[in-house]
Amino acid sequence: MTASVVEVAGVTHAYGEGGRRRTVLDEVTVRLTERRVGIVGANGSGKSTFVRLLNGLVVPTSGMVTVNGLDTRRHGREIRRQVGFCFTDPDAQIVMPTVREDIAFGLRRRGLSRQEVESRVADALHRFGLADHADHPAHLLSGGQKQLLALASVLVTEPSVLVLDEPTTLLDLRNAALVAGHVDQLEQQVLLVTHHLELLAAYDRVLVFDAGRLVHDAGPDEAVAFYRKLMA
């Protein structure tokens, strides 16, 4: 799968009005074409706001974000078809009663036949080891299974880019490794926000955020070393 072109040009983002206005991203410019991009930074550094900009969950206060030439301000629906998003807490995106129904939910309004939907759902259940739980209540799964369900529910729609905002933070070591293993095998372009720096060893590029700014952009060894020094 060919990597998409994600461009962030002179982007600033602020919340609030007047004296309560708070800038969380300040003049960020970056062009991303690599298949594996990591994003790191302390809590409150702006990294989560940055990745939410990439599929239009947040639009910039100033500047522009495009994916394959589509502006997130004007083409939100098309952007979200191309850019899938997984949150830290999978309960934030599990919306249907059962595992099977939740995976199928994202395929609504796609113009697919019932047979095609059932085929895609069955493939996703098998791929993520959830076939034995297909008709179980989704919110009663274990934490690791919920995160796999969140992945399955996004990937069944076949996005070209997958953004993951700290997907292993709430998991124990075993389930974190399981989720990371699935992510490593994906064909999609992956943009991963994480505090688990060991996950980035084989990545193509790592962005470091601090106080709302992109302060370093390099390969994983150099970027992680810079980040460790910054945090010390």
Residue 1 has pLDDT above 80, yes or no: no
- Looking at residue 26, what is its pLDDT? 96
Extract the tokens encoding 114. Answer: 């019932």
pLDDT over 70 percentage in the chain: 99
| Alpha helices, H only, 17-142 | 47-53, 76-82, 99-105, 114-127
What is the pLDDT at residue 33? 97
Q: Are strands 205-210 and 83-86 parallel, antiparallel or unpaired?
A: unpaired
Residue 198, helix vs strand vs coil: helix
Rounded Cα gap, residues 85 and 190, in angstroms? 10
* pLDDT band at residue 19 under the 50/70/90 scheme: low
Token couple for 149: 């369900």
Determine the pLDDT at residue 93: 94
For 27-43, give one letter per residue: b (16+ CB within 10 A) or e. Answer: ebeeebeebbbbbbbee
CA atoms within 13 A on the CB side of 198: 7
- Max CA separation in the chain (angstroms): 56
| Residue 156 and residue 107 in contact, taking contact as beta carbons nearer than 8 Å | yes
The tens digit of pLDDT for each residue in 185-218 reads 999 999 999 999 999 999 999 999 999 999 999 9
Does residue 126 sit within a domain?
no
In a domain, 26, yes or no: yes
The answer to whether residue 192 is domain-embedded is: yes
Q: Which domain holds residue 212?
A: 6-95+144-231
Where do runs of H (alpha helix) occur along the chain? 47-53, 76-82, 99-105, 114-127, 143-155, 173-184, 220-231
- Is residue 99 within 8 Å of residue 44, measured between CB atoms? no
Q: Is 113 exposed, middle or buried (0-12, 13-18, 19+ CB in 10 A)?
A: exposed
Is 123 within a domain? no
pTM greater than 0.75: yes
132 in a structural domain: no
* pLDDT tens per residue across span 70-100: 999 999 999 999 999 999 999 999 999 999 9
Give a yes or no: residue 128 inside a domain: no
CATH number, domain containing residue 220: 3.40.50.300
Distance CA 21, CA 13 (A): 10
Split into its structural domains, the chain has a count of: 1
Contact indicator for 215, 230 with CB cutoff of 8 Å: yes
Domain membership of residue 28 (yes or no) is yes
Token readout for 199 is 């996950």
54 assigned to some structural domain = yes
- Closest CA relative to residue 150, chosen from 195, 103, 220: 103
